């Protein structure tokens, strides 16, 4: 299969690319910057120049493939344009002959409008897909383990053996490795007959903060404790890493999650998912062991 991969040079899309290659498919990375794709080209991926803002470039790129791995980019100069980007991608799949799409929501979905743009946009994209008539499957993950590499967590593990994260001790999260989301998407791309299904996916462990730290301790081979980071401290870490102002958005996002915890599902029963999409899942301890160097 030839698969057009949106965001294939980024952290989520590159996991799709690697897993397509493992399954002997041909990923074609849509990118504005082919040089960013070089490591994956060396592994066997191809690239096509395209910009989600430029509808024609997407039509041309989609005509040459069998299926599409779609995600919405996040860190763009004008986030208001992202729904248009995604609509362009869906239109291109439709014009190219209703090419099968697997859409990664990149996070949980709240099933009603909330006024929070990141969540409302996911609902809008699901509606665009339904309205388009293009065959599609949705993969809906929870929290990525890679968040633990962020500047609010990693430096404190390195310096203080403390896993700081802006979530209260008792809250359970089904952390999932980005690589596993990529594997599930690559598997779903082989099944156009699942069209119309939405797979809610998470890791296999649904853990509190202290349990997360215990499992990280196993993988890292040293004792790590959990610290439920106050939102102000989280915001300060974002400001320090990404520049003044970044923290306010991060604080608002996590405050929203706290206020709407009853509507946001952060764990999925993976038994029925893995029956349809059999992939090898990564445990938290395995993920920590794979990333041991990053935490030294
Ligand atoms: N659930 C979680 O725990 C979690 C954690 C982290 C992030 N996320 C989500 O992950 C997403 C970010 O993904 P990421 O980390 O993979 O992003 P990333 O590493 O920043 O990569 C962004 C990708 O988007 C592509 N892109 C951006 N603008 C584009 C445009 N105009 N046309 C074509 N491609 C464009 C870039 O391609 P080129 O530059 O090559 O053109 C790049 O491949 C967000 O939706 C975020 O909410 C979720």
DSSP states of 88-144:
HHHHHHHHTT--EEEEE-SS---SS--S-HHHHHHHHHHHHHHHHT--EEEEE---B
Burial of 129 (0-12, 13-18, 19+ CB in 10 A): buried
What are 81-117's pLDDT values in tens digits?
Answer: 999 999 999 999 999 999 999 999 999 999 999 999 9
Ligand 1 pocket test, pick from 106, 143, 182, 256 with the greatest ligand atom count within 8 Å of Cβ, gives 106
Q: What is the pLDDT of residue 75?
A: 84
DSSP designation for 179: H
204 C-beta neighbours (distance < 10 Å), count: 18
Phi and psi, residue 262, nearest 5°? -70, -15
Whether the CB of 77 sits within 6 Å of ligand 1: no
What are 223-246's pLDDT values in tens digits?
Answer: 999 999 999 999 999 999 999 988
Mean pLDDT of 10-24: 98
239 HSE (CA, 13 A, CB side): 11
Write the secondary structure of 18-79 as one string of H (helix), E (strand) and C (coil): HHHHHCCCEEEEEECCHHHHHHHHHHCCEEEECCCCCHHHHHHHHHCCCEEEEECCCCCCCH
Whether the CB of 76 sits within 6 Å of ligand 1: yes
From the CA of 104, how far away is ligand 1's center (Å)?
11
| pLDDT surpasses 90 at 289 | yes
Indicate which atom in ligand 1 lies nearest the CA of residue 36: 40
């Amino acid at each position: 299969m030839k698969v057009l991969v949106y965001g294939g040079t980024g952290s989520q899309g590159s996991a799709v690319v690697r897993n397509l290659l493992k399954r002997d498919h041909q990923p074609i990375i849509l990118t504005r910057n082919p040089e960013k794709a070089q490591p994956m080209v060396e592994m066997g991926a191809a690239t096509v120049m395209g910009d989600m803002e430029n509808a024609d470039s997407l039509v041309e790129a989609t005509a040459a493939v069998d299926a599409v791995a779609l995600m919405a980019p996040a860190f763009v100069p004008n986030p208001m344009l992202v729904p248009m980007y995604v609509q362009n991608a869906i239109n291109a799949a439709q014009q190219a002959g209703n090419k099968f799409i697997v859409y990664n929501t990149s996070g949980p979905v709240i099933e009603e409008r909330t006024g929070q743009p990141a969540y409302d946009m996911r609902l809008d994209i699901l509606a665009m897909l339904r309205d388009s008539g293009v065959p599609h499957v949705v993969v809906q993950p929870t929290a990525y383990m890679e968040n633990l590499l962020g500047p609010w967590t990693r430096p404190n593990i390195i310096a203080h053996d403390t896993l700081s994260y802006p979530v209260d001790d008792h809250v359970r999260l089904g952390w999932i490795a980005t690589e596993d989301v990529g594997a599930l998407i690559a598997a779903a791309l082989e099944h156009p007959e699942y069209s119309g299904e939405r797979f809610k996916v998470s890791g296999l462990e649904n853990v509190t903060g202290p349990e997360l730290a215990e499992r990280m301790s196993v993988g890292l081979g040293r004792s790590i404790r959990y610290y439920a980071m106050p939102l102000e401290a989280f915001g300060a870490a974002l400001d320090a890493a990404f520049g003044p102002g970044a923290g306010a958005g991060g604080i608002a996002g996590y405050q929203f999650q706290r206020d709407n915890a009853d509507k946001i599902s952060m764990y999925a029963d993976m038994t029925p998912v893995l029956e349809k999409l059999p992939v090898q899942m990564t445990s938290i301890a395995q993920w920590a062991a794979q990333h041991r160097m990053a935490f030294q």
